[in-house]
């Protein structure tokens, strides 16, 4: 870059870059290098993302870069190009996109290379010294002895500290004498995976592996649609292993690390390479090391959650997304990206294949298969000849109910208990009861700050709001009529647990919901207990559904399937189907066949009928037809403008002004390519004390929508009414509130 004026992206909510000039003494700077620059009275770290040929700032006013932090670009140019694309697509400020993509440590002046774990090893002089050193030099002998025993690789500082208390001064002394060497590398941090063969693949698995293997050197998006227990992990592993064998790297996205121990375990024993795992339990420094190891090409495979989509790779070779339909790939605040969608773009830019895997792929991906954009790989059968679980619908309208459970459900649970088999009870609400109601005057406990009911929690005896976290003591008497006629209504996980304890004496229950699971380690311990068989019944929310492979589970009970059946959210049916398939898929994965009991008030519902017949494709066809008729994604593009404020009218006023401005923009255009819906209060208008309103923008195609958004956002940034609200734009929103 010859030009001495550079465009810098700063972590600010501004949809623009900032020009700075380089002084003579500054080294040459390339795109992707970080710089420190003055901003008002502060200094901030930004990234050079281009050269400014003509600056809009008059030369005399142009400020200088204070320090060039990186002599080389901190991220590969391909990744920078990808981030620019993402900023463009989501209409989000590039500086904030870059901030989301870099390790937190690099927001400061820290170098690209993190502080690495320290190792020590013995020199030949040290080996000789160990033989002659006086017996009195106990600490020195201890250190040298331990290192001699450890051999060539030496020992990490952590390992040394475990055998010798506070070894630092001794280490310094030995180092000074040239008896030991200190070095730093990322290896201690990476997992080194063996190359164990694993099960022999069945025919469909082999075909899938062969098809992927034939396309490793160009962009091909694969949709791996395999029923639950069909062995998708083995396919990811084989594909990743051959990419690694050819000297390249793979990036694997999973919904949540703690919930995918089997995938990690399988990669650790079968990959034959090094593995970096990026998860929420890492410290900033550890995260930086993983990032760096990927960037340097030291990690052959990176496994991580949503934000790992931005991990730099030295030699990208393959991208994989497990459970591609999972909602957790969508970031719901700030930079609202969808990692599943982004990774496909990244694969395309890098010219490498991408595998999206799921038992129930998103309707977006299914439509991409129909349009010939994605190549479908099907696994129709479970491995080892295991049968698909048998579904039975139980009519809540006709059967008597005890704490949400019908007699056939309780009988089925009792039968499993007698046979020594395990069961899962899926309840979509945590807490004891979702509503507290006065039977005299119909008063209900509601949150003061949100438009929702408060949930009763029995363990803590509190009423809690699941949206803002507020909590209070449950009243003794009804605050409205004063009677002692308050009753908990409906079932949460705690109530189901209590009831099962009563009706199945001696049953060993594990309740799994976000109230009850602390950190990732606790969760892993809990899941291990289930596998060991010291648990009879697992009761929980979505946490029980995710990819677990518990061979002894033969029964899955779904307490209530109705929440998603007749909802205003156009994705509700899809999400319900995916959730229920996933939880049902935990049943009968080994020799013993699985049964799934689904309680509903709508046993005639056609989606439930298809679910029970394992007819996802039938469901998809019908659902896509409906989406087309209703002008919904994937046929129509959505962007949602949201606003919130402490005063009720203000946010609605802002989106109304935004709508007027938008209509004016559109009036000049000939076609009806972009449409603005009516500005409305959000479905749940009040949340955490803020009033929310929204405006939906739709278009039949990508290009006109994005052209409109570009202009419109400029308008909105200039609006005075925008200053009294918090507003944001969500491109391809997942939640419509
Ligand atoms: P999915 O992700 O499709 O639900 P998994 O990949 O978790 O399924 O596989 C389920 C189980 O089957 C795992 O324990 C896995 O090791 C095993 N498995 C995979 N492929 C085979 C095979 N060909 N033969 C026997 N077992 C297999
Ligand atoms: Zn009352
Ligand atoms: Zn609340």
Which of 639, 718, 719 lies closest to 676, judged by CA?
A: 639
Least reliable range by pLDDT among 16-30, 518-532, 630-644: 518-532
Least reliable range by pLDDT among 276-280, 414-418, 692-696: 276-280
Residue 156 φ then ψ, to 5°: -75, 160
> Ligand 2 centroid vs 484 CA: distance in angstroms?
8
Does residue 2 register a pLDDT over 60?
A: no
> Ligand 1 centroid vs 384 CA: distance in angstroms?
8
At residue 394 the predicted structure's pLDDT band, cuts being 50, 70 and 90, is very high
How many Cβ atoms sit within 10 Å of the Cβ of residue 499? 17
CA geometry: angle 659, 661, 666, nearest 5 deg = 90
With tokens 């030009």, the residue in question is 3
Please list the residues that pair with 51 across neighbouring strands.
6
Of 202, 204, 226, 231, best ligand 1 pocket probe by most atoms within 8 Å of the beta carbon? 231
Give the ligand whose atoms come closest to the C-alpha of residue 229. Answer: 1
Beta-strand (E) ranges in 479-568?
486-489, 509-512, 537-540, 553-558
Pocket of ligand 1 (CB under 6 A): 199-202, 205, 226, 228-234, 262, 383-384, 549
Average pLDDT, the chain: 92
Q: What is the distance between the alpha carbons of residues 365 and 363, in angstroms, rounded to a whole number?
A: 5
pLDDT by residue (tens digit) across 534-577? Answer: 999 999 998 888 767 888 999 999 999 987 777 778 999 999 99
> Ligand 1 centroid vs 234 CA: distance in angstroms?
7
How many Cβ atoms sit within 10 Å of the Cβ of residue 647? 11
Q: What is the distance between the alpha carbons of residues 156 and 645, in angstroms, rounded to a whole number?
A: 53
**Helical residues (DSSP H) of 90-153, grouped into ranges:** 94-101, 124-132, 138-150
Residue 599 φ then ψ, to 5°: -90, 135
Does residue 272 register a pLDDT over 70?
A: yes
Tell the burial category of 108 from Cβ atoms under 10 Å away from its Cβ (0-12, 13-18, 19+): exposed
Q: What letter would DSSP give residue 357? A: E
Which region holds residue 482: left if phi is over 0, alpha if psi is between -120 and 50, else beta?
A: left
Q: What is the distance between the alpha carbons of residues 200 and 257, in angstroms, rounded to a whole number?
A: 26
Output the residue whose Cα is nearest ligand 1's atom 2: 232
Q: What is the distance between the alpha carbons of residues 164 and 471, in angstroms, rounded to a whole number?
A: 49
Q: Supply the pLDDT for residue 712.
A: 96
Give the ligand whose atoms come closest to the C-alpha of residue 384. Answer: 1
Query: Residues 216, 242: contact at Cβ < 8 Å?
Result: yes
Q: What is the distance between the alpha carbons of residues 374 and 364, in angstroms, rounded to a whole number?
A: 11
Q: Supply the pLDDT for residue 389.
A: 93
Tell me the two tokens of residue 679. Answer: 């500005």
Average pLDDT over residues 45-58: 85
Residue of 453 and 280 predicted with greater confidence = 453
Query: Residues 9, 46: contact at Cβ < 8 Å?
Result: yes
Tell the burial category of 518 from Cβ atoms under 10 Å away from its Cβ (0-12, 13-18, 19+): exposed
Does residue 53 register a pLDDT over 80?
A: no
Tell me the two tokens of residue 568. Answer: 């205003």
Average pLDDT over residues 696-712: 94
Output the residue whose Cα is nearest ligand 1's atom 18: 231
Give the ligand whose atoms come closest to the C-alpha of residue 690. Answer: 3
Tell me the two tokens of residue 309. Answer: 């989509």
Does residue 364 register a pLDDT over 60?
A: yes
Q: Supply the pLDDT for residue 1.
A: 46
Q: What letter would DSSP give residue 557? A: E
Q: What is the distance between the alpha carbons of residues 614 and 600, in angstroms, rounded to a whole number?
A: 18
Tell the burial category of 697 from Cβ atoms under 10 Å away from its Cβ (0-12, 13-18, 19+): buried
pLDDT by residue (tens digit) across 239-260? Answer: 999 999 999 999 999 998 877 7
pLDDT by residue (tens digit) across 622-673? Answer: 999 999 999 999 999 999 999 999 998 999 999 999 999 999 999 877 667 9
Output the residue whose Cα is nearest ligand 1's atom 12: 231
Does residue 3 register a pLDDT over 60?
A: no
What b/e sequence results for 561-580 when a residue is b if at least 16 CB atoms lie within 10 Å of its CB, and e otherwise? bbebeeeeebbebbbbbbbb
Of 383, 531, 553, best ligand 1 pocket probe by most atoms within 8 Å of the beta carbon? 383
Query: By percentage, how much of the chain surpasses pLDDT 90?
Result: 73
> Ligand 2 centroid vs 438 CA: distance in angstroms?
5
Tell the burial category of 348 from Cβ atoms under 10 Å away from its Cβ (0-12, 13-18, 19+): middle
Is the omega angle on the peptide bond into residue 496 within 30 degrees of 0, that is, cis?
A: no
pLDDT by residue (tens digit) across 435-467? Answer: 999 999 999 999 999 999 999 999 899 999 999
Q: Supply the pLDDT for residue 408.
A: 97
> Ligand 2 centroid vs 466 CA: distance in angstroms?
23
Q: Supply the pLDDT for residue 361.
A: 98
> Ligand 3 centroid vs 128 CA: distance in angstroms?
70
Q: Supply the pLDDT for residue 27.
A: 87
pTM to 2 decimal places: 0.92
Q: Supply the pLDDT for residue 670.
A: 67
Does residue 383 register a pLDDT over 80?
A: yes
Q: What is the distance between the alpha carbons of residues 488 and 435, in angstroms, rounded to a whole number?
A: 6
Query: By percentage, how much of the chain surpasses pLDDT 70?
Result: 99
């Amino acid at each position: 870059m010859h030009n001495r004026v550079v465009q810098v992206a700063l972590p600010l909510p501004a949809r623009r870059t900032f020009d700075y000039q380089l002084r003579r003494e500054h080294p040459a700077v390339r795109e992707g290098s970080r710089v420190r620059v003055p901003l008002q009275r502060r200094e901030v770290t930004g990234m050079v993302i281009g050269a400014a040929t003509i600056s809009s700032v008059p030369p005399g006013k142009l400020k200088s870069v204070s320090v060039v932090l990186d002599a080389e670009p901190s991220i590969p140019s391909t990744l920078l190009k990808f981030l620019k694309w993402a900023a463009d697509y989501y209409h989000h400020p590039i500086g904030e996109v870059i901030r989301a993509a870099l390790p937190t440590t690099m927001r400061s002046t820290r170098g690209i290379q993190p502080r690495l774990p320290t190792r020590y090893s013995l020199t030949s002089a040290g080996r000789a010294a160990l033989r002659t050193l006086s017996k009195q030099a106990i600490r020195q002998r201890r250190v040298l002895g331990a290192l001699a025993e450890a051999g060539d690789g030496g020992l990490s500082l952590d390992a040394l500290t475990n055998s010798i208390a506070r070894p630092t001064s001794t280490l310094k002394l030995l180092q000074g004498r040239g008896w030991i060497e200190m070095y730093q590398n990322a290896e201690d941090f990476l997992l080194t995976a063996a190359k164990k063969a694993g099960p022999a693949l069945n025919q469909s698995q082999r075909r899938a592996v062969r098809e992927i293997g034939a396309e490793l050197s160009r962009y091909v998006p694969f949709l791996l649609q395999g029923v639950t227990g069909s062995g998708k992990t083995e396919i990811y592993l084989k594909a990743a292993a051959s990419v690694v064998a050819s000297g390249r790297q793979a990036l694997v996205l999973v919904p949540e690390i703690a919930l995918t121990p089997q995938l990690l375990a399988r990669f650790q024993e079968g990959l034959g390479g090094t593995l970096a795992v990026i998860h929420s339990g890492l410290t900033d420094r550890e995260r930086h090391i993983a990032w760096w190891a990927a960037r340097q090409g030291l990690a052959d495979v990176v496994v991580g959650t949503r934000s790992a989509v931005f991990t730099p790779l030295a030699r990208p070779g393959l991208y994989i997304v497990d459970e591609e339909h999972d909602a957790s790939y969508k970031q719901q605040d700030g930079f609202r990206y969808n990692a599943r969608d982004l990774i496909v773009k990244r694969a395309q830019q890098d010219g490498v294949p991408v595998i999206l895997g799921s038992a129930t792929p998103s309707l977006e991906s299914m439509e991409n298969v129909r349009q010939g954009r994605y190549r479908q790989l099907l696994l129709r059968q479970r491995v080892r000849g295991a049968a698909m679980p048998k579904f039975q619908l139980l009519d809540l309208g006709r059967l008597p109910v005890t704490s949400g459970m019908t007699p056939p459900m309780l009988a089925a649970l009792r039968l499993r208990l007698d046979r020594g088999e395990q069961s899962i009870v899926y309840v979509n609400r945590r807490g004891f009861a979702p509503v507290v109601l006065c039977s005299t005057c119909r008063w209900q406990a509601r949150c003061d700050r949100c438009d929702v009911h408060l949930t009763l929690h029995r363990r803590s005896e509190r009423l809690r709001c699941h949206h803002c976290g507020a909590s209070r003591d449950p009243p003794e008497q009804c605050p409205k009529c004063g009677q002692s006629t308050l009753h908990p209504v409906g079932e949460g996980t705690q109530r189901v647990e209590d009831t099962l304890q009563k009706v199945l004496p001696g049953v060993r229950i594990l309740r799994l919901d976000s109230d009850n699971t602390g950190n990732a380690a606790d969760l892993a311990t809990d899941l291990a207990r289930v596998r060991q068989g010291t648990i009879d019944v697992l009761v929980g929310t979505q946490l029980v559904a995710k990819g677990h492979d518990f061979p002894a589970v033969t029964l899955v009970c779904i307490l209530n399937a109705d929440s998603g059946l007749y909802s205003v959210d156009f994705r509700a049916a899809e999400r319900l189907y995916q959730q229920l398939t996933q939880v049902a898929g935990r049943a009968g994965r080994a020799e013993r066949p699985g049964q799934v009991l689904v309680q509903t008030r709508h046993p005639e519902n056609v989606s439930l009928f298809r679910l029970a017949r394992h007819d996802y494709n039938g469901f998809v066809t019908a659902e896509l037809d409906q989406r087309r008729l209703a002008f919904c994604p994937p046929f129509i593009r959505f962007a949602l403008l949201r606003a919130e404020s402490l005063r009720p009218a203000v946010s609605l006023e802002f989106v109304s002004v935004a709508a007027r401005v938008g209509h004016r923009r559109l009036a000049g255009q000939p076609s009806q390519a972009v449409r603005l819906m009516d500005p409305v209060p959000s479905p749940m208008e009040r949340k955490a004390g803020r009033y929310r309103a929204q405006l939906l923008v739709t278009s039949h195609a990508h290009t006109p929508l994005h052209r409109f958004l570009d202009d419109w956002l400029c308008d909105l940034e200039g609006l005075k009414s925008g200053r009294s609200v918090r507003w944001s734009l969500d491109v391809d929103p997942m939640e419509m509130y």
